[in-house]
Amino acid sequence: MHRVSFSALVCGAALGLLTISPAWAECGFSGRTGTVNVLANSFPVLDHMASAMKACAKDGLTVNVKLTSQLKEEVEQAFNSGASPFDLAQVGTGSFTTLAANGSLQPITDLVLKYKAKYDIQYPMLITIGKEVYGIAFQTNLQHLFYRKDLLEQHKIPVPKTYAEVLAAAKKLKEVGAVENPFSAAYKPGWDLANEFTNIYLSEGGKFFADGSAEPKFQSPEALKTLATMKDLVSYMSPNALGLATGDVTTAFQQGTTALGILWATRAAAMDDAKVSKVAGKVGFAAAPAADIGAPAATTQFWDAFVMPRSMKGDRETAFLLLMEATKLETMKAAPDLANWLRPGISTSDYAKGVQESVAAQAPGFPTEPYFSLALAALGQQVGDYLAGRKTAEQALAEATRAYTQSAKEKGFLK
């Protein structure tokens, strides 16, 4: 399954904005009539995509694109109504999960199969639940490896590709006294810690739930391996490891007290802000390390995508074709640094390197099951208890499973 909308997270100051003329946009289809209403965020990357859609507004086809700063609220209100006034809308993971749980989304698998070849629809762009496609993603934000280029080069340490290599690199850096705390990540109990567990657990091949069910499956061998890896990492982190949030990890890099870490792509540009960073020009970016050689990158994609409502009034194929025009290769190539586009090789900024490498390394999407948030809440506390030495790994997983099961029953996901 394929990710919280951080709408246009990696756009703007981090990657630099472009002034885009719609002159490049040429509509790739004709013969369609009627009206298609589109809802999206008010942001430069969506302005650009709207231009591609509007280029098709001719010969009896009307395309209305509403750009709003209240996207989440407006989408959920429209899609959950009896007849949605919008035929196509941008969503992030959070809204997608809510809409899917309410049965408000329309599957588009048939249209993807019909137009996959013409528009070269890439696998990472598909937002799925089970075997059905429900959305087309266009940009992503994720966590990946940040590393001190100078220290790794000085001590002849290759850029780690797996967590075993991260641990080996951290051990060497600690032995030579290169840096105060060799590794850093957001391990604050709650969402941050549960998210870090999710990253490694999925790379280990772990499953959170039984297929097609809310039945928990994270009391598993893969979960035990994940917890063991996390405990090993903590030994190379700050003594306050379980108090670290994303901002703390960012500061640790900027102050030069850590050398390897997992951070969001949106924090990359901050490494080179000379006003606050002592390591400008010294931090490199790479794919998130995998749990093992050949495994997917241990991170999850938080995406922005377009979806259709089940209650749409317009023609679904026409709406889909407009979406294809907005996400086709030519549209993205016309503004390569306006977003971390999901098509490989489009974004050219150095700050996009870790994202592109992680996507190429098969980083999965953040889980979209409507009950996944309940699992996160249960794991966020119990993993912290294990890392703090208050519980064994087995006890922590058993308690997380119990807490999740209780919540899932209360919410009606389990009987």
Give the CATH number of the domain where residue 265 resides.
Answer: 3.40.190.10
Same domain as 280, residue 166: yes
State the virtual CA torsion across 74, 79, 81, 87 in degrees, nearest 10. Answer: 100
Same domain as 278, residue 163: yes
In this predicted structure, what is the pLDDT of residue 102?
86
Same domain as 313, residue 273: no
Question: Residue 409: inside a domain, yes or no?
Answer: no
Low-confidence residues of the chain, pLDDT below 50? 1-23
Sheet holding 181-184, edge to edge: 181-184, 258-264, 143-148, 283-286
pLDDT tens for residues 325-342? 999 999 999 998 888 898
Same domain as 282, residue 158: yes
In this predicted structure, what is the pLDDT of residue 25?
66
User: Which residue is listed with tokens 């996959």?
Assistant: 116
Asked if residue 124 lies in contact with residue 301, where contact means CB atoms within 8 angstroms, the answer is yes
Same domain as 351, residue 325: yes
Question: Residue 368: inside a domain, yes or no?
Answer: no
In this predicted structure, what is the pLDDT of residue 167?
99
Cα 71 to Cα 67: distance, rounded to the nearest angstrom: 8
Question: Residue 412: inside a domain, yes or no?
Answer: no
Same domain as 76, residue 147: no
In this predicted structure, what is the pLDDT of residue 290?
99
Same domain as 247, residue 174: yes
Domain count of the fold of the chain: 2
The DSSP bridge pattern shows strands 88-92 and 302-307 to be: antiparallel
In this predicted structure, what is the pLDDT of residue 205?
98
Question: Residue 34: inside a domain, yes or no?
Answer: yes
Same domain as 204, residue 104: no
Question: Residue 390: inside a domain, yes or no?
Answer: no
Sheet holding 302-307, edge to edge: 61-68, 34-41, 88-92, 302-307, 132-141, 126-129
pLDDT tens for residues 276-303? 999 999 999 999 999 999 999 999 999 9
Q: Smallest Cα–Cα separation from 135: which of 169, 165, 100?
A: 100
Asked if residue 341 lies in contact with residue 58, where contact means CB atoms within 8 angstroms, the answer is no
Cα 13 to Cα 7: distance, rounded to the nearest angstrom: 14
Same domain as 134, residue 148: no
Same domain as 205, residue 76: no
User: Which structural domain, as residue segments, surrounds residue 29?
Assistant: 12-140+301-360
